[in-house]
């Protein structure tokens, strides 16, 4: 008996994974929970374990291939049993062959459309028939971009057929006002009119000029046309020939393949990098972004951290500014909970989240990842420092689990670590707000009428304007600035 093993759902929202490496060969014995493949999902790199004791019967995917969650990608012969043709494990609920014994395509049954859940949802929102969309992703998978392209095209198959039929109908004489510059740019649009001429009049010299220029005299716009007779001048021939050559040169230039002076490098757009791109695309297309920016005096915060750093180091913990910022964010969210929310579009409700889970954006070789520190409101400063450091390191090492990248209710990104003051951070959808921090450094600031060198922190807060108003984010920013300027107030929270 053959046990068909489907790629499991290794995390919420994961629809597919790239098979990076097989860890077993066909015919190899395996034991339950032994890793058989390394798969990169849109969350992380994970080892996929065998669900049974047995022998590898067939590997149904190749390294580098995108495998859909729920599709069979490996089969096992159970211990003590020989696989027979057409056998399947009863647990799969699927037959490997049809009534005639023919092998069925398990990964792509008839009529199935391969599309990510976000693409299906987008298709419903835009009124696009997902079955009519041609996928450009791996294995013909339909992406969000494919759905948007189909929506922008705006033609259903029936509409397209109607357009073709309409194009095949005789075209009447165009109105001069509608033709506009199109007549000048493409003289050949006059061809239908020229073909209806009964006679084209031109001087012998004009006819010789047309032959030299390789121009059909009947296609040259006439100076005057009466009773089916057209009179063409040498100037009209020259203009037509010049326009025709320009059009041919433009077509040749457009058709010429681009040849770079140096060899291009092509990097596969998939895995975590593609997931990041799709998430950013969905966020910007879905949530109308508005960004509020302020400069915060954090001189007292710098002094407080310097005082506490030795205490943290004695306990083996590196104390950064992030735990202070996280605590300040939580305190400000308590006063303005609408920034710790999601929009349930199906139910038509704004959901004010009870949890206080903070996502912290981390730059990795694979792109920006967002580990989640849970229950920030229930943890102390040193515990937050330790957990944040550990999660960030796991993200950089690609050992972080999918569960540790999910469930955030508000996100913080520190682009100031790479320099720069302000930015417009993209919301970590479906959240409704994100805090971006610029470079913390000394800047001239006015204190009691005098200019002083003070430590300051630029902040940029992007919001989903469907849920959060400008007044809400301004008040939240003011409250956050208060806690960052006077960190001792956090002791009262």
- Annotated catalytic sites, by residue? 465
d(Cα 2, Cα 81) in Å, to the nearest integer? 9
List the alpha helices (DSSP H) in 214-262: 234-255
Q: What is the DSSP letter of 32?
A: T
∠ CA 98-102-105, rounded to 5°: 80
Under 8 Å between Cβ of 68 and 7? yes
CA distances from 425 to 40, 230, 267, 418, 444 (A): 26, 64, 25, 14, 26
**What does DSSP say about strands 66-68 and 199-201: parallel, antiparallel, or unpaired?**
unpaired
d(Cα 130, Cα 152) in Å, to the nearest integer? 14
Q: What per-residue string of b and e applies to 444-476 under the rule 16 or more CB within 10 Å gives b? A: eeeeeeeeeebbbbbbbbbbbeebbeeebbeeb
Q: CB-based contacts of 243: which residues, under 8 Å, 6+ apart?
A: 184, 185, 186, 187
CA 256 remoteness from chain centre: 31
Burial zone of 209 (CB within 10 Å; 0-12 exposed, 13-18 middle, 19+ buried):
buried
């Amino acid at each position: 008996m053959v046990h068909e093993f489907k790629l499991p759902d290794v995390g919420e929202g994961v629809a597919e994974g790239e098979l990076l490496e097989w860890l077993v060969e066909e015919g190899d014995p395996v034991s339950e929970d032994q890793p058989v493949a390394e798969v990169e999902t849109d969350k992380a790199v994970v080892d996929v374990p065998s669900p049974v004791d047995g022998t590898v019967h067939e590997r149904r995917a190749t390294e580098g291939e995108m495998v859909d969650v729920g599709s069979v990608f490996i089969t096992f012969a159970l211990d003590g049993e020989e696989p027979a043709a057409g056998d399947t494990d009863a647990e799969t609920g699927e037959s490997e062959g049809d009534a005639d014994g023919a092998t069925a395509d398990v990964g792509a049954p008839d009529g199935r459309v391969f599309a990510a859940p976000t693409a299906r949802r987008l298709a419903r929102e835009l009124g696009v028939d997902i079955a009519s969309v041609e996928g450009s992703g791996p294995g013909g998978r339909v992406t969000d971009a494919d759905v948007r392209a189909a929506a922008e095209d705006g033609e259903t198959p029936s509409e397209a057929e109607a357009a073709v039929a309409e194009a095949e109908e005789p075209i009447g004489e165009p109105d001069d006002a509608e033709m506009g510059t199109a007549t000048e740019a493409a003289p050949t649009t006059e061809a239908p009119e020229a073909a209806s001429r009964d006679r084209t009049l031109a001087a012998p010299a004009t006819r010789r000029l047309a032959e030299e220029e390789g121009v059909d005299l009947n296609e040259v716009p006439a100076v005057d046309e009466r009773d089916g007779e057209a009179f063409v001048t040498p100037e009209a021939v020259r203009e037509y020939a010049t326009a025709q050559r320009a059009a041919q040169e433009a077509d040749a230039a457009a058709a010429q393949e681009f040849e770079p002076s140096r060899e291009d490098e092509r990097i596969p757009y998939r895995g975590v990098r593609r997931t990041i791109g799709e998430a950013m695309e969905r966020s910007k297309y879905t949530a109308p972004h508005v960004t509020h920016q302020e400069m915060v005096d954090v001189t007292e915060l710098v002094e407080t951290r310097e005082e506490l750093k030795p205490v943290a180091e004695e306990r083996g913990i590196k104390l950064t500014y992030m735990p202070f910022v996280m605590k300040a964010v939580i305190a400000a969210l308590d006063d303005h909970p609408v920034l710790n929310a999601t929009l349930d579009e199906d139910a038509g409700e704004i959901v004010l989240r009870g949890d206080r889970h903070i996502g912290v954006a981390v730059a990795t070789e694979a792109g920006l990842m967002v580990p989640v520190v849970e229950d920030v409101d229930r943890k102390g400063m040193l515990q937050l420092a330790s957990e944040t450091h550990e999660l960030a390191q796991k993200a950089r090492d690609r050992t972080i689990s999918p569960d540790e990248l999910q469930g955030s209710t508000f996100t913080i990104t520190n682009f100031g670590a790479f320099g720069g003051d302000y930015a417009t951070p993209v919301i970590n959808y479906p959240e409704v707000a994100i805090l971006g921090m610029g470079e913390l450094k000394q800047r001239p600031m006015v204190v009691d009428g005098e200019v002083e060198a003070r430590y300051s922190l630029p902040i940029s807060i992007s919001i989903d304007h469907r849920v959060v108003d400008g007044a809400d984010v301004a008040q939240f920013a003011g409250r956050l600035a208060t806690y960052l300027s006077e960190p001792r107030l956090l002791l009262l929270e």
